[in-house]
Structure 1
Amino acid sequence: HLDPGPAAVAGDYPDLFPAAFAPHGLELRVYEATLGELPEDLDECDVWMVSGSRRSAYEDEGWIAAVSDLIVRIEAARRPLAGICFGHQLTARALGGEVTRAEVGWGVGGRRFDVVAPAPWMDDGDRFTLLMSHRDQVTRLPDGAEVVATAPYCPVGAYRIGDHVFCVQGHPEFVPDLSLALMEARREIIGDAVVDAGVASLDAAAPPLDQDRVAGWISEFYRRALGR
């Protein structure tokens, strides 16, 4: 879940994800993993997604270990799996990669990424801008993974494993008001200079955000993986 203050601005993850993906034809079922709610059978859903979290992928918590085990099961069964922010990181770590606190510090606001290896479910654009909120990064990918998008501050901005795993560090489900609220709520932790730059990245002169575009990629990834 998000911090209560920012969540009051635009909703929590169980609200944000349906709002972002329903227009693309996805019907989502939410599992409260932090409360121990996880699927018993992979057939409960056609596709899988691991969302963001306030926690770090390397923290020693029972629910994080349980979700890691679930990720391993999903990948071994070649079920379609997408990861967002924490989910991007936890998927990499669960499958043999590495996640660490980023030396460059926080990434917040709108950040631009270069597409270096476009996947079949993406369009022909060579870059995208996505709302970010993280201070951990994937620093080593699992075997068989390929970087899809990169930025100087975040080398692994998106990656794929074959045609059944697709993960992005950014938040396609975020809206600008939520991004602003998160930055202000964490200003003391993030630092004034980084927050001010993040706020500036959302003004009218900044590059347009690609929230819906990236949500569309993930949705098309699912459709292709299911053969639809």
Structure 2
Amino acid sequence: MKTPLRIAILEADTPPDDIVARYGKYGNVFRKFLETAADELGEAGFSKDSLELSAYDVVTEQKYPELDSIDAVLITGSKHNSFDNDPWILKLVAFTEQLLKQDRVRTIGVCFGHQIIGRASGVKVGRSEGGWEVSVLPVELTKKGKEIFKQDSLSLHQMHRDVVFEYPQGVEALGGSPRCLVQAMYKKGSFISVQGHPEFTEAIVSYLITMRNQQGIFNTEEAKDALDRVGNHHDGIVTAKAFFRFLLED
């Protein structure tokens, strides 16, 4: 794929007001994340100037890019349920199905986006019986996962209790965890996805944990455990580099 890489970020949620005030909406969070990784990728002539990023609110405005104007789509995380049938979710699933049926525009899924790709591919998504995964946690990589991420292990910020239950036909498994066997998926020339949040930072996750503790979603013990791990090393930039290699591969 030639540069500039024209990547459309589909915003499947709006962060809490305090996060928006400090970091912007998810399109801006991903912009900073992707630009940082592009500058660190190490590919000759590739940098943040090789990116052309745009953002689309697919929840309220329900706007989408024209496929002939982009090279890739990134579907963000969300507080919403990927298995619900709200009109905007059904529209997103239908758009993702359209993406997966063609072979030029590639797709990246993050958390909710990972689940939407699973749903659009025809496999079950829903609540994990194992409950929440929160804060920095390890992902056990498969042989293919080690090849894709170029290291033997992966740690990512997590913020989910919904999962993809199985790998779609023809899709390669990249990694799993005890509470989420389908942590990352890959189909050459089509899509790559992760259940974790590589774009999240310690500050963002700390805020979300504290907020959800106050809302009663996490009890005090769960919140303390998650906050104890929130500053651990995580491989967000490593994951973004894998995204770029996927986009650039023949």
Asked if these proteins are the same fold (TM beyond 0.5), I'd say yes
**Corresponding residue for 2:106?**
80
Give the drift of 1:202. 2.2
Cα RMSD for the two superposed structures: 1.7
**Corresponding residue for 1:142?**
168
**Corresponding residue for 2:248?**
223
Pairing partner for 1:63 from 88, 92, 117:
88
Q: Deviations over 1:115-151 (max 9, x none)?
A: 1132597343111111111111111222222210111
Pairing partner for 2:151 from 108, 125, 129:
125
Distance 1:9 1:134, change over 3 A: farther
Residues 34 and 240 of structure 2 are in contact (CA less than 8 Å); yes or no, is this contact kept in structure 1? Answer: yes
Q: Is 2:183 the counterpart of 1:152?
A: no
Distance 1:94 1:73, change over 3 A: same
Identity %: 26
**Corresponding residue for 1:193?**
221
Alignment-mate amino acid for residue 230 of structure 2: L
Residues 146 and 153 of structure 2 are in contact (CA less than 8 Å); yes or no, is this contact kept in structure 1? Answer: no
Give the drift of 1:164. 1.7
Residues 146 and 160 of structure 1 are in contact (CA less than 8 Å); yes or no, is this contact kept in structure 2? Answer: yes
Alignment-mate amino acid for residue 31 of structure 2: P
Greater length-normalized contact order (CA 8 Å, ≥ 6 residues apart)? 1
Tell me, in whole angstroms, the C-alpha distance in 2 between the residues paired with 1:106 and 1:215.
24
Q: Deviations over 1:56-90 (max 9, x none)?
A: 11111111111111111111102311100000001
Q: Deviations over 1:194-226 (max 9, x none)?
A: 2211111124xx4x11111111111111111xx
Q: Deviations over 1:155-192 (max 9, x none)?
A: 11101123321000111111110000001111111222
Instruction: Provide the secondary structure at the position in 2 that maps to 1:97.
Output: coil
**Corresponding residue for 2:31?**
18
TM-score, normalising length: structure 2: 0.83
**Corresponding residue for 1:111?**
137
Tell me, in whole angstroms, the C-alpha distance in 2 between the residues paired with 1:168 and 1:223.
18
Instruction: Provide the secondary structure at the position in 1 that maps to 2:54.
Output: coil
Residues 98 and 141 of structure 1 are in contact (CA less than 8 Å); yes or no, is this contact kept in structure 2? Answer: no
Tell me, in whole angstroms, the C-alpha distance in 1 between the residues paired with 2:166 and 2:23.
33
Q: Which segment drifts farther, 13-22 or 141-150? A: 141-150
**Corresponding residue for 2:17?**
4
Q: Is 2:194 the counterpart of 1:174?
A: no
Pairing partner for 1:202 from 213, 227, 230:
230
TM-score, normalising length: structure 1: 0.90
Alignment-mate amino acid for residue 20 of structure 1: F
Tell me, in whole angstroms, the C-alpha distance in 2 between the residues paired with 1:163 and 1:194.
39
Pairing partner for 2:54 from 29, 34, 45:
29
The number of residue pairs the alignment matches comes to 221
**Corresponding residue for 2:6?**
none
Q: Which segment drifts farther, 137-146 or 210-219? A: 137-146
Instruction: Provide the secondary structure at the position in 2 that maps to 1:160.
Output: strand
Distance 1:76 1:121, change over 3 A: farther
Structure 2 stretches lacking a partner, 5+ long:
1-13, 39-47
